[in-house]
Structure 1
Amino acid sequence: MSESGSGPAEYTTRHSVEVAASADHIYEVIADAQSWPIIFPPTVHVRREPGPDGTESLDIWATAQDTVKTWRSRRELDARNHTVTFRQLVSAAPVASMSGTWRVDSTGDGTSTLTLDHRFSAVGDDPDSVAWIQRALDANSDAELAAVAATAVGRSDGSLVSLAFSDTVAIASPAQPIFDFLYRADLWPERLPHVSRVALSSVDDAQILEMDTVNSAGEAHTTRSYRVVTDRFELAYKQTVVPDGFLAHHGKWTLEENGDTTVATSHHHVQLDLERLRARLGATDREDVEQRVRAALGGNSVATLQAARAFTEAERSLA
């Protein structure tokens, strides 16, 4: 549907889904934007800045038809009415403007209707751009609605587990060489013993990293990730191919200089299929699953940071 006026034509879309969960549970998923990378398949990373009176600004990196786009949005959250309205402050071409609303309506008996509306215009009113945006909205909106529904239901019945943690290593080096070590993943097979193969390519301003690794438990995995530089010394990633039992994995590397030392931190945020992992790992309960996942992911990340420390400190001693 399109609307015309003095400016570019505006188009509207609506997507909705029935969800077997309460409006409160669904709204919590929508409101928690920093968890979107482990909920929405297209979302690579979100940076949140809280504002006054229930508002917030979001910088979002997301895939759209095999590209990575980034934009800034302003959101207004209304927990009482279970709505979140949004408007892009800075859009990425071919989008000229984009706004919309998430709305959750209770339908009784523990079920709800989740609706996602969009209003947009295209740069130059170009028909091909309008069609491209509509295709992207159809694909992403359907995926996002399905993901919100699955997450709300899974968190309600306990079948899904979200786990977030971080590990830190102090390195006697400026941040830039450490960041270069982390960014040059194509060199990891010769630098990291737990990495056996890497295929690294790029699209727009993002890296695409496919990698074969062995974790601390001796299990081999192939993963595929989008990686984006989100700040001067911050490298975020979203896995699109994950190990068995993982539903999503988002992480980032952050570096903070403190005098002659850099504090390097690896952050992980995962969503897990509890019963699948219990069966695969032979785990006894949820706590056991979480401990094993943390040990496996954290072990590889710490090994990477320790290798970065050995490499950069050795390079500095030779300078």
Structure 2
Amino acid sequence: MSVERVHSRTHEVTIQAPAGVVYALLTDSPSWPLHLQSAVHVEQLEFDGRRERTRVWSTANGRADSFTSLRTLAPELRQVEFRQEQPTAPEHPVSGVWSVVPLAAQRSRLELRYHFTTSAGDPAAVLESLRTAAELWPRLDELALSFDDSVRIEGPAEPVYDFLYRVQDWPGRVPGVIRADVVEDEPGVQAVTMDTTQPDGSVRTTRSLRICFPHAGLIVSKQLTASGLMSAHTGEWSLIPDERGVTVSAHQDAVLCRETIEQARKEGTDTAGARRHARETLGRGGARVLALALAKKHTQCAVRVL
């Protein structure tokens, strides 16, 4: 019986941000999909304030893998120990420790020491994503955008979920969607390439990953293609049924590009105006609100046929 050799590596990056900010970002695992390029969705399974168990879906080359991670937080040391269990891809590191070292009031060093048996992917890219997110922290209130749209449907939840799940059927049914190609190599994990028409008549192509949880009435997504408007964009469909029907909500989070705000100011629009424009564009883009309205119509028609 052969025993795989365990390798050890250390990576570090200097960040122009306080150590407390970097540590807060490192420990806020549910926010990673918005700040880390590779993270698609994080589900916090257990957390008692110091010990955390999460399931993480991450992406490489447009495909999603998932693993469960056990983490121990030590805020007094600004350290996080982790051990991955049940990895679906062997390239994930198996254990390690994150450390945040203060260098000055507004400067710190983030270190990653980890141990693995096979290739450990690209930890340097993860550190770079954390550096970028931490250095944006002073402007995050200005750049971050979060909002919900919802609709009440007098009908069963199952046809609504099926409508949202079968995104490949949206062309011709959701205005503006002219192409939606879906690759689902693993049940419930969808790689979606979509073409939508824009208000000026142009066609925009986006790529996203969607993780579907039918028993929870939940679909989460992350856009993989950058745009001039935002540097990160995640979304969530959720269905809450009751005895009379179902409430369908579309939640969106985004981080606007700094250039978007700066260009708006040059054009005489203040930050609030730029955020309103972004809110309107995001609500229109992807046809989420329209899809909700069509889901309502689709479901009510289905109920009448039944």
How many angstroms apart in 2 are the aligned matches of 1:161 and 1:101? 30
- 3-state SS, counterpart of residue 297 of structure 1: helix
Q: Secondary structure at the match of 2:195?
A: strand
Q: How does 1:41-190 map to 2 (within 5 A)?
A: 41-94=37-90, 98-108=94-104, 110-121=106-117, 130=118, 133-134=119-120, 136=121, 139=122, 141-156=123-138, 161-190=143-172
Q: Which aligned pairs between 1:225-236 and structure 2 lie closer than 5 A? A: 225-230=208-213, 232=215, 233-236=217-220
Deviates more, 1:212-221 or 1:292-301: 212-221
Aligned in 2, Cα 1:144/1:264: closer, same or farther, shift over 3 Å? same
Distance in 2 separating the partners of 1:287 and 1:37: 25
Partner residue of 2:191?
Answer: 208
The question of 1:257 aligning with 2:253 is answered no
1:173 aligns to what SS in structure 2? Answer: coil
Confirm or deny that 1:290 pairs with 2:281.
no
How far apart are the structure 2 equivalents of 1:286 and 1:274? Answer: 11
Over 3 Å counting, the alpha-carbon distance change for 1:223 and 1:93 in structure 2 is: closer
Indicate whether 1:247 and 2:216 are aligned: no
CA contact (8 A) 2:176 2:197 kept: yes
Question: Match of 1:189, SS?
Answer: coil
Q: How many residues align?
A: 300
Q: Deviations over 1:92-116 (max 9, x none)?
A: 2436972222111112252211112
Deviations 1:144-179 (A, max 9, x none): 111111111112256971222221111122222111
2:176 aligned with 1:194, yes or no? yes
Sequence identity, in percent? 28
User: Are the structure 2 counterparts of residues 153 and 248 from structure 1 closer, same or farther at C-alpha, using a change threshold of 3 Å?
Assistant: same
CA RMSD of aligned residues (A): 2.6
For the 8 Å contact 2:161–2:214, the answer to whether it is kept is no
1:221 aligns with 2:217: no
- Equivalent-residue separation in structure 1 for 2:262 and 2:198 (angstroms): 17
Q: What 5-or-longer segments of structure 1 have no aligned partner?
A: 1-5, 122-129
Residue type matched to 1:302 in 2? V
Answer yes or no: is 1:310 the counterpart of 2:297.
yes
Taking a change above 3 Å as real, the CA distance of residues 159 and 251 of structure 1, as seen in their structure-2 partners, is closer
- Distance in 2 separating the partners of 1:39 and 1:231: 26
Query: Counterpart of 1:241 in 2: which secondary structure?
Result: coil
User: 1:9 aligns to what SS in structure 2?
Assistant: coil
- CA 1:252–1:95 in 2, change beyond 3 Å: closer, same or farther? same
CA separation of 1:280 and 1:96: change in aligned 2, threshold 3 A: closer
Are 2:20 and 1:37 equivalent residues in the alignment?
Answer: no
- How far did 1:296 drift? 2.3
Distance 1:96 1:247, change over 3 A: closer
SS of 1:190's equivalent in the other structure is coil
Residue matched to 1:3: none
**Structure 2 vs 1, CA of residues 218 and 116 (structure 1 numbering), >3 Å: closer, same or farther?**
farther
Secondary structure of the equivalent of 2:136? Answer: helix
d(CA) in 2 for partners of 1:253 and 1:45?
Answer: 13
- 2:24 equivalent to 1:28: yes
Per the normalisation by structure 2, the TM-score is 0.88
- Shift in Å at residue 90 of structure 1? 2.7
Residue identity in the other structure for 2:36: F
Shift in Å at residue 188 of structure 1?
0.7
Structure 2 residue runs without a partner (length 5+): none
Contact 2:32/2:42, CA 8 A, preserved across alignment: yes
Q: TM-score, normalization: structure 1? A: 0.85
Partners of 2:92 and 2:256 in 1: CA distance = 37
